[in-house]
């Protein structure tokens, strides 16, 4: 999964650079298409894959502000203030 994300990122970056190259030499429509498709792929393909990869084995409850977690934070802060 990690390698797929890296390859996809490099491909998107290369596509954006190629698009700006085409825009620089005067072919604005082709350049805009390259940049637009790259941004769409980054938004709708790369970002969800990246988010899934990062949150795959995590417990969402650990990141929510429940009463138990708020109590842990208060206890930690009080212990930190006393030391």
Domain coordinates in residue numbering, the chain: 2-82
Query: Consecutive sets of 10 residues in the chain, 83 residues long: mean pLDDT of each?
Result: 95 97 95 97 97 89 86 89 75
- The per-residue pLDDT for 83 is 65
- The per-residue pLDDT for 23 is 95
Do residues 23 and 33 lie in contact, with contact meaning Cβ atoms separated by under 8 Å? no
Do residues 53 and 2 lie in contact, with contact meaning Cβ atoms separated by under 8 Å? yes
pTM score, two decimals?
0.72
């Amino acid at each position: 999964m990690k390698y797929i994300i890296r390859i996809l990122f490099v491909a998107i970056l290369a596509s954006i650079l190629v698009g700006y190259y085409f825009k620089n030499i005067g072919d604005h429509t082709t350049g805009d298409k390259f940049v637009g498709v790259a941004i769409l792929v980054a938004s709708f393909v790369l970002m969800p894959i990246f988010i899934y990869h990062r949150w795959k084995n995590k417990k969402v409850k650990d990141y929510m502000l429940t009463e138990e977690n708020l109590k842990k934070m208060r206890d930690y802060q009080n212990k930190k203030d006393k030391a």
